[in-house]
Amino acid sequence: MNALAPASHFSPASKAPTVVEERGQRQVFCGLTSIVWLHRKIQDAFFLVIGSRTCAHLIQSAAGVMIFAEPRFATAILEERDLAGMADVDDEIDRVVERLLERRPDVKLLFLVGSCPSEVIKIDLSRAAARLSRRHSPDVRVLNYTGSGVETTFTQGEDMCLAALAPCLPAEPANAQRSLLVVGALADVVEDQFARLFDVLGIAPARFLPMRRAADLPPVGPNTSFLLAHPFLRDAARALEERGAKRIDACFPLGAEGTTAWLRAAAEAFGVAPEKFEAAVAPARARALAALESRRATLAGKSVFFFPDSQMEPALARFLSREMSMRLVEVGTPYLHRQHLAQDLALLPPDLRLTEGQSLDDQLDRCRAAKPDLVVCGLGLANPLEAEGFTTKWSIELLFSPIQGYEQAGDLAALFARPIERRARLEV
Ligand code: SF4
Protein backbone atom coordinates (compact mmCIF):
# COMPACT_ATOMS: atom_id res chain seq x y z
CA MET A 1 0.00 0.00 0.00
CA ASN A 2 1.70 3.20 -1.08
CA ALA A 3 -0.84 5.84 -0.33
CA LEU A 4 -3.45 6.14 2.33
CA ALA A 5 -7.07 6.44 1.32
CA PRO A 6 -9.29 8.59 3.55
CA ALA A 7 -9.89 6.56 6.67
CA SER A 8 -13.59 6.21 5.97
CA HIS A 9 -12.67 3.91 3.09
CA PHE A 10 -10.78 1.47 5.29
CA SER A 11 -12.47 -1.81 5.87
CA PRO A 12 -11.31 -3.91 8.79
CA ALA A 13 -9.90 -7.36 8.11
CA SER A 14 -12.67 -9.92 8.32
CA LYS A 15 -11.04 -11.79 11.19
CA ALA A 16 -8.74 -10.63 13.99
CA PRO A 17 -5.58 -12.72 14.49
CA THR A 18 -5.59 -15.65 16.89
CA VAL A 19 -3.89 -14.90 20.20
CA VAL A 20 -1.23 -17.32 21.45
CA GLU A 21 -0.83 -17.16 25.23
CA GLU A 22 2.67 -17.62 26.63
CA ARG A 23 3.79 -18.17 30.21
CA GLY A 24 7.37 -18.13 31.45
CA GLN A 25 10.21 -15.79 32.24
CA ARG A 26 9.42 -12.18 31.41
CA GLN A 27 11.41 -9.02 31.28
CA VAL A 28 9.42 -5.83 31.77
CA PHE A 29 9.89 -2.77 33.99
CA CYS A 30 7.59 -2.37 36.98
CA GLY A 31 4.80 0.20 37.38
CA LEU A 32 7.01 2.66 39.25
CA THR A 33 8.37 3.68 35.85
CA SER A 34 5.10 5.47 35.00
CA ILE A 35 5.95 8.08 37.63
CA VAL A 36 8.52 9.45 35.21
CA TRP A 37 5.82 10.73 32.84
CA LEU A 38 2.96 11.13 35.33
CA HIS A 39 4.79 13.61 37.56
CA ARG A 40 5.32 15.87 34.57
CA LYS A 41 1.63 15.74 33.71
CA ILE A 42 -0.03 16.57 37.05
CA GLN A 43 1.93 19.67 37.88
CA ASP A 44 1.16 19.92 41.60
CA ALA A 45 1.29 16.21 42.42
CA PHE A 46 4.05 14.35 44.24
CA PHE A 47 4.79 10.63 44.04
CA LEU A 48 6.28 9.13 47.18
CA VAL A 49 7.39 5.56 46.60
CA ILE A 50 7.42 3.43 49.72
CA GLY A 51 10.11 1.01 48.76
CA SER A 52 13.66 -0.23 48.82
CA ARG A 53 16.97 1.04 47.48
CA THR A 54 16.28 -0.89 44.27
CA CYS A 55 13.10 1.14 43.74
CA ALA A 56 15.00 4.40 44.36
CA HIS A 57 17.63 3.37 41.81
CA LEU A 58 15.04 2.41 39.22
CA ILE A 59 13.26 5.75 39.39
CA GLN A 60 16.50 7.72 39.45
CA SER A 61 17.87 5.96 36.41
CA ALA A 62 14.58 5.97 34.48
CA ALA A 63 14.25 9.69 35.16
CA GLY A 64 17.96 10.29 34.83
CA VAL A 65 17.57 11.64 31.34
CA MET A 66 15.76 14.65 32.76
CA ILE A 67 17.22 17.20 35.13
CA PHE A 68 14.84 18.81 37.59
CA ALA A 69 15.70 21.37 40.24
CA GLU A 70 12.79 20.12 42.34
CA PRO A 71 11.70 16.67 41.24
CA ARG A 72 8.18 15.71 42.23
CA PHE A 73 8.94 12.15 43.17
CA ALA A 74 11.02 10.49 45.85
CA THR A 75 11.47 7.16 47.56
CA ALA A 76 10.95 6.61 51.28
CA ILE A 77 13.43 3.78 51.76
CA LEU A 78 12.42 1.27 54.39
CA GLU A 79 15.40 0.41 56.55
CA GLU A 80 15.75 -2.75 58.59
CA ARG A 81 14.91 -0.92 61.80
CA ASP A 82 11.65 0.39 60.32
CA LEU A 83 10.53 -3.14 59.81
CA ALA A 84 10.88 -4.16 63.44
CA GLY A 85 7.32 -3.05 64.16
CA MET A 86 4.55 -2.01 61.82
CA ALA A 87 3.38 0.77 64.16
CA ASP A 88 6.82 2.37 63.70
CA VAL A 89 6.42 2.13 59.94
CA ASP A 90 3.15 4.10 60.11
CA ASP A 91 4.85 6.76 62.23
CA GLU A 92 7.79 6.85 59.85
CA ILE A 93 5.54 7.35 56.81
CA ASP A 94 3.64 10.11 58.64
CA ARG A 95 6.93 11.81 59.54
CA VAL A 96 8.28 11.63 55.99
CA VAL A 97 5.03 13.04 54.58
CA GLU A 98 4.96 15.79 57.20
CA ARG A 99 8.49 16.87 56.31
CA LEU A 100 7.81 16.69 52.61
CA LEU A 101 4.66 18.81 52.75
CA GLU A 102 6.32 21.40 54.95
CA ARG A 103 9.12 21.75 52.43
CA ARG A 104 6.83 21.62 49.41
CA PRO A 105 3.69 23.69 50.05
CA ASP A 106 3.07 23.62 46.27
CA VAL A 107 2.09 19.92 46.48
CA LYS A 108 -1.70 19.48 46.38
CA LEU A 109 -1.97 15.81 45.52
CA LEU A 110 0.26 13.18 47.07
CA PHE A 111 0.42 9.59 45.88
CA LEU A 112 1.85 6.94 48.18
CA VAL A 113 3.11 4.34 45.73
CA GLY A 114 3.55 0.76 46.94
CA SER A 115 6.33 -1.52 45.71
CA CYS A 116 7.20 -5.20 45.98
CA PRO A 117 9.40 -5.86 49.00
CA SER A 118 7.25 -8.14 51.19
CA GLU A 119 7.55 -5.69 54.08
CA VAL A 120 5.97 -2.97 51.94
CA ILE A 121 3.16 -5.27 50.84
CA LYS A 122 2.30 -5.78 54.52
CA ILE A 123 1.79 -2.05 55.05
CA ASP A 124 -1.79 -0.90 54.61
CA LEU A 125 -1.08 2.07 52.36
CA SER A 126 -4.77 2.82 51.77
CA ARG A 127 -5.22 3.31 55.53
CA ALA A 128 -2.11 5.50 55.62
CA ALA A 129 -3.44 7.55 52.69
CA ALA A 130 -6.85 8.01 54.34
CA ARG A 131 -5.22 9.03 57.64
CA LEU A 132 -2.89 11.50 55.97
CA SER A 133 -5.65 12.89 53.76
CA ARG A 134 -7.74 13.65 56.85
CA ARG A 135 -4.77 15.26 58.56
CA HIS A 136 -3.80 17.46 55.62
CA SER A 137 -7.29 18.22 54.29
CA PRO A 138 -8.25 20.44 52.53
CA ASP A 139 -4.79 21.55 51.38
CA VAL A 140 -3.54 18.16 50.20
CA ARG A 141 -5.32 15.02 49.04
CA VAL A 142 -3.40 11.78 49.67
CA LEU A 143 -4.07 8.68 47.55
CA ASN A 144 -2.31 5.38 47.13
CA TYR A 145 -1.74 2.76 44.46
CA THR A 146 0.74 0.02 43.72
CA GLY A 147 3.62 0.13 41.26
CA SER A 148 4.99 -3.23 42.42
CA GLY A 149 6.76 -5.33 39.84
CA VAL A 150 4.81 -8.36 41.04
CA GLU A 151 1.48 -6.78 40.15
CA THR A 152 2.27 -4.25 37.43
CA THR A 153 4.27 -3.74 34.26
CA PHE A 154 5.50 -0.24 33.54
CA THR A 155 2.44 1.18 31.81
CA GLN A 156 0.11 -0.36 34.40
CA GLY A 157 1.51 2.13 36.90
CA GLU A 158 -0.43 4.82 35.04
CA ASP A 159 -3.52 2.62 35.00
CA MET A 160 -3.30 2.13 38.79
CA CYS A 161 -2.77 5.86 39.35
CA LEU A 162 -5.83 6.84 37.27
CA ALA A 163 -7.93 4.08 38.85
CA ALA A 164 -7.01 5.56 42.26
CA LEU A 165 -8.15 9.00 41.06
CA ALA A 166 -11.48 7.83 39.60
CA PRO A 167 -13.40 7.50 42.90
CA CYS A 168 -12.33 11.06 43.87
CA LEU A 169 -13.76 12.70 40.76
CA PRO A 170 -16.73 14.92 41.58
CA ALA A 171 -20.14 13.63 40.48
CA GLU A 172 -21.53 15.50 37.50
CA PRO A 173 -24.77 17.40 38.31
CA ALA A 174 -27.97 15.40 37.72
CA ASN A 175 -28.97 17.49 34.69
CA ALA A 176 -25.46 17.71 33.27
CA GLN A 177 -25.10 17.94 29.52
CA ARG A 178 -23.27 15.13 27.82
CA SER A 179 -19.50 15.46 28.18
CA LEU A 180 -16.40 13.83 26.76
CA LEU A 181 -13.55 12.67 28.96
CA VAL A 182 -10.24 11.70 27.34
CA VAL A 183 -8.48 9.23 29.64
CA GLY A 184 -4.71 8.69 29.66
CA ALA A 185 -1.68 10.92 30.13
CA LEU A 186 -0.93 12.83 26.93
CA ALA A 187 1.81 15.40 26.42
CA ASP A 188 0.36 18.89 26.94
CA VAL A 189 0.99 19.81 23.31
CA VAL A 190 -1.02 16.77 22.14
CA GLU A 191 -3.80 17.47 24.62
CA ASP A 192 -4.05 21.07 23.35
CA GLN A 193 -4.30 19.88 19.74
CA PHE A 194 -7.08 17.43 20.58
CA ALA A 195 -8.91 20.07 22.65
CA ARG A 196 -8.86 22.40 19.62
CA LEU A 197 -10.18 19.66 17.32
CA PHE A 198 -13.00 18.76 19.73
CA ASP A 199 -13.84 22.45 19.89
CA VAL A 200 -14.04 22.73 16.08
CA LEU A 201 -16.20 19.59 16.03
CA GLY A 202 -18.51 21.14 18.60
CA ILE A 203 -17.88 18.38 21.17
CA ALA A 204 -18.13 20.21 24.47
CA PRO A 205 -17.32 20.03 27.25
CA ALA A 206 -14.24 17.89 26.49
CA ARG A 207 -12.02 17.22 29.51
CA PHE A 208 -8.88 15.23 30.21
CA LEU A 209 -7.80 12.76 32.91
CA PRO A 210 -5.21 13.07 34.38
CA MET A 211 -5.79 16.79 34.78
CA ARG A 212 -2.88 19.23 34.85
CA ARG A 213 -3.71 20.56 38.32
CA ALA A 214 -5.07 18.66 41.31
CA ALA A 215 -7.93 21.13 41.80
CA ASP A 216 -9.27 20.50 38.29
CA LEU A 217 -10.63 16.99 38.80
CA PRO A 218 -13.09 16.45 35.93
CA PRO A 219 -16.67 15.54 36.95
CA VAL A 220 -17.95 12.12 35.97
CA GLY A 221 -21.31 10.34 35.81
CA PRO A 222 -23.83 8.69 33.48
CA ASN A 223 -23.65 11.61 31.02
CA THR A 224 -19.89 11.20 30.61
CA SER A 225 -18.58 9.35 27.57
CA PHE A 226 -14.91 8.51 27.79
CA LEU A 227 -12.33 7.86 25.14
CA LEU A 228 -9.17 5.96 26.10
CA ALA A 229 -5.95 7.52 24.82
CA HIS A 230 -3.93 4.35 25.61
CA PRO A 231 -4.67 0.63 25.45
CA PHE A 232 -3.31 -0.11 28.95
CA LEU A 233 -6.02 1.49 31.08
CA ARG A 234 -8.07 -1.53 32.11
CA ASP A 235 -8.57 -0.67 35.79
CA ALA A 236 -9.07 3.04 35.15
CA ALA A 237 -11.78 2.25 32.57
CA ARG A 238 -13.48 -0.12 34.99
CA ALA A 239 -13.38 2.47 37.79
CA LEU A 240 -14.94 5.09 35.50
CA GLU A 241 -17.63 2.64 34.41
CA GLU A 242 -18.42 2.07 38.07
CA ARG A 243 -19.09 5.82 38.24
CA GLY A 244 -21.61 5.45 35.41
CA ALA A 245 -19.40 6.71 32.54
CA LYS A 246 -19.56 4.93 29.17
CA ARG A 247 -16.56 4.01 27.05
CA ILE A 248 -16.55 4.96 23.37
CA ASP A 249 -15.13 2.06 21.39
CA ALA A 250 -12.31 3.28 19.14
CA CYS A 251 -8.92 2.62 17.57
CA PHE A 252 -6.06 4.30 19.41
CA PRO A 253 -4.88 7.69 18.07
CA LEU A 254 -1.59 6.56 16.53
CA GLY A 255 -0.87 7.64 12.96
CA ALA A 256 -3.24 9.33 10.52
CA GLU A 257 -5.61 6.37 10.31
CA GLY A 258 -5.71 5.72 14.06
CA THR A 259 -6.21 9.39 14.92
CA THR A 260 -9.01 9.74 12.36
CA ALA A 261 -10.75 6.61 13.64
CA TRP A 262 -10.38 7.77 17.28
CA LEU A 263 -11.76 11.21 16.55
CA ARG A 264 -14.51 9.82 14.37
CA ALA A 265 -15.67 7.48 17.14
CA ALA A 266 -16.11 10.52 19.40
CA ALA A 267 -17.77 12.52 16.62
CA GLU A 268 -20.26 9.74 15.93
CA ALA A 269 -21.02 9.32 19.64
CA PHE A 270 -21.76 13.05 19.84
CA GLY A 271 -23.80 13.17 16.61
CA VAL A 272 -21.39 15.31 14.57
CA ALA A 273 -22.37 15.32 10.88
CA PRO A 274 -19.90 13.42 8.62
CA GLU A 275 -19.30 16.51 6.41
CA LYS A 276 -18.48 18.63 9.44
CA PHE A 277 -16.10 15.93 10.65
CA GLU A 278 -14.33 15.70 7.30
CA ALA A 279 -13.94 19.47 7.06
CA ALA A 280 -12.55 19.66 10.61
CA VAL A 281 -9.93 16.94 10.30
CA ALA A 282 -8.93 17.21 6.62
CA PRO A 283 -6.10 19.80 6.94
CA ALA A 284 -4.36 18.08 9.88
CA ARG A 285 -4.83 14.65 8.32
CA ALA A 286 -3.24 15.88 5.08
CA ARG A 287 -0.23 17.14 7.06
CA ALA A 288 0.04 13.78 8.85
CA LEU A 289 -0.09 11.84 5.56
CA ALA A 290 2.63 14.02 4.06
CA ALA A 291 4.84 13.50 7.12
CA LEU A 292 4.33 9.74 6.97
CA GLU A 293 5.15 9.68 3.28
CA SER A 294 8.60 11.10 4.01
CA ARG A 295 9.43 8.02 6.15
CA ARG A 296 7.94 5.43 3.86
CA ALA A 297 11.13 4.85 1.87
CA THR A 298 12.88 3.67 5.04
CA LEU A 299 10.11 1.58 6.56
CA ALA A 300 8.04 0.07 3.71
CA GLY A 301 8.70 -3.63 3.26
CA LYS A 302 10.90 -3.90 6.37
CA SER A 303 10.07 -6.55 8.97
CA VAL A 304 9.42 -5.79 12.63
CA PHE A 305 9.25 -7.98 15.75
CA PHE A 306 7.62 -6.72 18.98
CA PHE A 307 8.63 -8.12 22.36
CA PRO A 308 5.91 -7.62 25.00
CA ASP A 309 6.45 -4.46 27.01
CA SER A 310 4.02 -1.55 26.96
CA GLN A 311 0.63 -3.05 25.93
CA MET A 312 0.72 -0.56 23.06
CA GLU A 313 2.14 -3.17 20.72
CA PRO A 314 -1.05 -4.17 18.81
CA ALA A 315 -1.94 -0.52 18.12
CA LEU A 316 1.64 0.28 17.06
CA ALA A 317 1.69 -2.82 14.87
CA ARG A 318 -1.53 -1.70 13.21
CA PHE A 319 0.08 1.67 12.49
CA LEU A 320 3.31 0.18 11.12
CA SER A 321 1.65 -2.42 8.93
CA ARG A 322 -1.22 -0.36 7.52
CA GLU A 323 0.25 3.12 7.39
CA MET A 324 3.95 2.38 6.85
CA SER A 325 3.63 -0.95 4.95
CA MET A 326 5.94 -2.78 7.34
CA ARG A 327 5.84 -6.57 7.65
CA LEU A 328 4.83 -7.85 11.09
CA VAL A 329 6.81 -10.93 12.11
CA GLU A 330 5.44 -11.29 15.65
CA VAL A 331 3.59 -8.93 17.96
CA GLY A 332 3.98 -9.73 21.65
CA THR A 333 2.10 -7.86 24.36
CA PRO A 334 2.24 -8.47 28.13
CA TYR A 335 -1.53 -8.29 28.47
CA LEU A 336 -4.17 -7.98 25.78
CA HIS A 337 -7.45 -6.26 26.54
CA ARG A 338 -9.48 -7.76 23.73
CA GLN A 339 -12.40 -5.37 24.14
CA HIS A 340 -10.43 -2.13 24.36
CA LEU A 341 -8.22 -3.17 21.44
CA ALA A 342 -10.97 -4.74 19.31
CA GLN A 343 -10.86 -2.04 16.62
CA ASP A 344 -7.07 -2.19 16.26
CA LEU A 345 -7.02 -6.00 16.31
CA ALA A 346 -9.58 -6.12 13.49
CA LEU A 347 -7.15 -4.16 11.31
CA LEU A 348 -4.19 -6.50 11.84
CA PRO A 349 -3.37 -9.24 9.32
CA PRO A 350 -5.47 -12.30 10.31
CA ASP A 351 -2.46 -14.65 10.01
CA LEU A 352 -0.26 -12.56 12.34
CA ARG A 353 1.50 -14.27 15.24
CA LEU A 354 0.09 -12.32 18.19
CA THR A 355 1.30 -13.42 21.62
CA GLU A 356 0.07 -12.45 25.07
CA GLY A 357 2.36 -12.90 28.09
CA GLN A 358 5.97 -13.93 27.67
CA SER A 359 8.26 -16.90 27.51
CA LEU A 360 11.46 -14.99 26.94
CA ASP A 361 13.79 -17.74 25.69
CA ASP A 362 11.25 -19.11 23.21
CA GLN A 363 10.58 -15.64 21.92
CA LEU A 364 14.29 -14.87 21.58
CA ASP A 365 14.70 -18.08 19.58
CA ARG A 366 11.89 -17.08 17.23
CA CYS A 367 13.31 -13.58 16.86
CA ARG A 368 16.79 -14.88 16.01
CA ALA A 369 15.35 -17.30 13.49
CA ALA A 370 13.25 -14.60 11.81
CA LYS A 371 16.09 -12.00 11.66
CA PRO A 372 13.71 -9.01 11.56
CA ASP A 373 14.91 -5.63 10.29
CA LEU A 374 13.73 -3.99 13.52
CA VAL A 375 13.08 -5.30 17.04
CA VAL A 376 10.92 -3.25 19.42
CA CYS A 377 11.75 -4.25 22.99
CA GLY A 378 12.56 -3.17 26.53
CA LEU A 379 15.86 -1.64 27.58
CA GLY A 380 17.12 -4.89 29.09
CA LEU A 381 16.89 -6.74 25.78
CA ALA A 382 17.96 -3.95 23.47
CA ASN A 383 21.68 -3.94 24.28
CA PRO A 384 22.28 -7.70 23.99
CA LEU A 385 20.25 -7.81 20.76
CA GLU A 386 22.18 -4.85 19.31
CA ALA A 387 25.39 -6.73 20.18
CA GLU A 388 24.07 -9.67 18.16
CA GLY A 389 23.60 -7.38 15.17
CA PHE A 390 19.88 -6.60 15.51
CA THR A 391 18.48 -3.10 15.08
CA THR A 392 16.33 -2.20 18.06
CA LYS A 393 13.90 0.43 19.26
CA TRP A 394 13.32 0.93 23.02
CA SER A 395 9.62 0.63 23.61
CA ILE A 396 9.81 2.93 26.65
CA GLU A 397 10.67 5.83 24.33
CA LEU A 398 7.19 5.52 22.89
CA LEU A 399 5.84 6.48 26.31
CA PHE A 400 8.23 9.37 26.86
CA SER A 401 7.65 10.95 23.45
CA PRO A 402 4.54 12.75 22.18
CA ILE A 403 3.31 10.32 19.50
CA GLN A 404 -0.49 10.58 19.47
CA GLY A 405 -2.46 12.69 17.03
CA TYR A 406 -2.00 14.06 13.52
CA GLU A 407 0.85 16.48 14.19
CA GLN A 408 2.92 13.75 15.84
CA ALA A 409 2.34 11.04 13.20
CA GLY A 410 5.61 11.88 11.42
CA ASP A 411 7.53 11.79 14.71
CA LEU A 412 6.03 8.40 15.50
CA ALA A 413 7.21 7.01 12.16
CA ALA A 414 10.61 8.64 12.71
CA LEU A 415 11.05 6.80 16.01
CA PHE A 416 11.01 3.53 14.05
CA ALA A 417 12.85 4.83 10.98
CA ARG A 418 15.84 6.32 12.80
CA PRO A 419 17.39 3.09 14.12
CA ILE A 420 17.09 1.53 10.65
CA GLU A 421 18.71 4.56 9.02
CA ARG A 422 21.47 4.61 11.65
CA ARG A 423 22.21 0.91 11.05
CA ALA A 424 22.31 1.50 7.29
CA ARG A 425 24.83 4.33 7.78
CA LEU A 426 27.00 2.10 9.99
CA GLU A 427 26.94 -0.64 7.40
CA VAL A 428 27.94 1.73 4.61
S1 SF4 B 1 8.76 -2.04 42.82
FE2 SF4 B 1 9.72 -4.05 42.81
S3 SF4 B 1 10.34 -4.36 40.67
FE4 SF4 B 1 9.98 -2.17 40.96
S5 SF4 B 1 11.98 -1.33 41.48
FE6 SF4 B 1 10.90 -1.73 43.42
S7 SF4 B 1 11.63 -3.78 43.98
FE8 SF4 B 1 12.12 -3.53 41.81
Q: How confident is the model over 305-363, as pLDDT tens digits?
A: 999 999 999 999 999 999 999 999 999 999 999 999 999 999 999 999 999 998 889 99
What structural domains does the chain harbor?
Answer: 7-26+296-427 (3.40.50.1980), 31-152 (3.40.50.1980), 179-275 (3.40.50.1980)
List Cα–Cα distances, 295 to 2, 290, 328, 419, in angstroms. Answer: 12, 9, 17, 12
pLDDT at 130: 97
Q: How many CB atoms lie within 10 A of CB 402?
A: 16
Q: What separation in Å is there between the alpha carbon of 91 and the centre of ligand 1?
A: 23
List Cα–Cα distances, 207 to 231, 245, 269, in angstroms. Answer: 19, 13, 16
Q: How confident is the model over 263-306, as pLDDT tens digits?
A: 999 999 999 999 999 999 999 999 999 999 999 999 999 999 99
Whole-angstrom Cα Rg for the chain: 22
Q: How confident is the model over 57-108, as pLDDT tens digits?
A: 888 877 664 545 467 888 888 765 555 555 578 888 999 999 999 999 999 9
Please report, in angstroms and rounded to a whole number, the separation of the first and last CA atoms in the chain: 28
Contact (Cβ atoms closer than 8 angstroms) between residue 154 and residue 31: yes
pLDDT at 174: 87
Q: Which DSSP state fits 168?
A: G
**What are the phi and psi torsion angles at 130 (to 5°)?**
-65, -45
pLDDT at 241: 98
What distance in Å separates the CA atoms of residue 60 and residue 398, rounded to the nearest whole number?
19
pLDDT at 350: 93
List Cα–Cα distances, 216 to 8, 213, 237, 309, 395, in angstroms. Answer: 36, 6, 19, 32, 31
Secondary structure (3-state) at 342: helix
Helix (H) or strand (E) holding 22: strand 19-22
Among 32, 75, 125, residue to substitute to test ligand 1 (most atoms within 8 Å of Cβ): 32
Whole-model pTM: value is 0.93
Among 35, 73, 75, 116, residue to substitute to test ligand 1 (most atoms within 8 Å of Cβ): 116
Ligand 1 pocket at CB < 6 A: 30, 32, 51-52, 54-55, 58, 115-116, 147-149
* Mean confidence (pLDDT) of the chain: 91
Task: Give 220's strand partners.
Answer: 171
